Amino acid sequence: MLKKPFAFFLIAVICPFFWGKNPSPTPTKEPINIILMIGDGMGLSQITAGMIANHNELNLERFRHIGLIKTFSSNDLITDSAAGATAFACGKKTHNAYVGLDAYKRPMTTILELAHERELSTGLIATSYIQHATPASFFAHQPNRYMYEEITEDILAGTVDIAIGGGRKFFDQREDGRNLIDSLAAHGYEVFNGLSKAKKQAESSRVVVLAKKEHLPQVTEGRGRFLAKAADFATGKLKQNNKGFFLMIEGSQIDFGGHSNNKDYIVNEVKDFDYTIGKVLDFAEADGNTLVIVTADHETGGFAIEGGDIDTGEVYGDFTSGKHTATMVPVFAYGPGAEEFTGIYENTEIFTKMINAFGFDLNEAP
Ligand code: MG
Ligand code: ZN
């Protein structure tokens, strides 16, 4: 039995919450939209180099919920981009080079496909081939990331509403002689060779922009603000679905700079990715119902900063490798559900946390 003073205390504390208030509708905690931004090869040194070059300032500083992920794959301490992105997309560690398959080569349903099944809209943006390992892991199921023609065919499954990137040659200059741009059109997609044309002419909600035959050029070699413009175009289309959307945006070439041990390449790509992050955060702030997650699949180059100057923006650094490394990489989250992304955890939990944030029940047919 409660002692008298304690009972009075309870009544005094709890009752004001019920008196004089109309029952308000339960606020929905689930985000309607998730934007996952992957800086390929973007470790802490890459971020710090971009920050120094940008005079000690990045949009990443706008995030308040920050964590770290362990990136190893099922067969190697050092992941590649296929196993790394598959962990985010499907929630399981797999072999390096596998795309959307588990370690036994069984297809797994990706978060993009789960969103599509539930009638959310979906989008993918990359500054590499759109069939490159990172974006491919969200829509394709192939035992080797370099099977570009097969990965291209997987787009025809139709689970991606908006796709923007390079890699046009795998549609129209194929070894099998087929023209899959025609197939895209037959599947109801509007297809464009450039973003500005798509902006002016696209009428439907299913748009593929194949901006280059190859990868997009480096940001300093003519790409300009392509990534931020693509993000703006995609969110403008995707937000028209009131069931919500899933969008993956990749800063693909931070990794390229790491592989070539090119510090300036890394810095310029990080700055462009961060500029895009700023625009995406502006969208999420205005929208109020969008969860933004920024992370990396792994670090590339074993890059370390050895000097520099915040005033001049100069950065000096060196590399221990031309390959990926096993160091943990950061996760930044903003919006409804962002608090779930703090701590140290496996890269596969990015998937679990996104599924929980969406409120998807994987045991129930959509
Ligand atoms: Mg990539
Ligand atoms: Zn790489």
Provide the domain count of the chain.
1
In a domain, 195, yes or no: yes
In a domain, 22, yes or no: no
Ligand nearest to the CA of 134: 1
Contact criterion met (CB below 8 Å) for 334 and 64: yes
Ligand nearest to the CA of 129: 1
Give residue 300 CA to ligand 2 midpoint distance, Å.
6
Q: Of 254, 259, 267, which Cα lies nearest the Cα of 51?
A: 267
Give residue 41 CA to ligand 2 midpoint distance, Å.
6
Give residue 324 CA to ligand 2 midpoint distance, Å.
6
Contact criterion met (CB below 8 Å) for 155 and 139: yes
Give residue 297 CA to ligand 1 midpoint distance, Å.
8
In a domain, 268, yes or no: yes
In a domain, 282, yes or no: yes
In a domain, 365, yes or no: no
Ligand nearest to the CA of 40: 1
Q: Of 356, 346, 366, which Cα lies nearest the Cα of 74?
A: 346
Give residue 86 CA to ligand 1 midpoint distance, Å.
11
State the CATH number of the domain containing residue 188: 3.40.720.10
Give residue 136 CA to ligand 1 midpoint distance, Å.
9
Give residue 186 CA to ligand 2 midpoint distance, Å.
34
In a domain, 11, yes or no: no
Q: Please give the average pLDDT of every successive group of 10 residues along the chain, which has 366 residues.
A: 48 46 51 94 98 98 98 98 98 98 98 97 98 98 98 98 98 97 97 98 98 98 98 98 97 98 98 98 97 98 98 98 98 97 98 96 88
Ligand nearest to the CA of 126: 1
Report the pLDDT value the prediction gives residue 327, as an integer from 0 to 100: 98
pTM for this prediction = 0.92
Ligand nearest to the CA of 324: 2
Domain containing 235 equals: 62-302+317-358
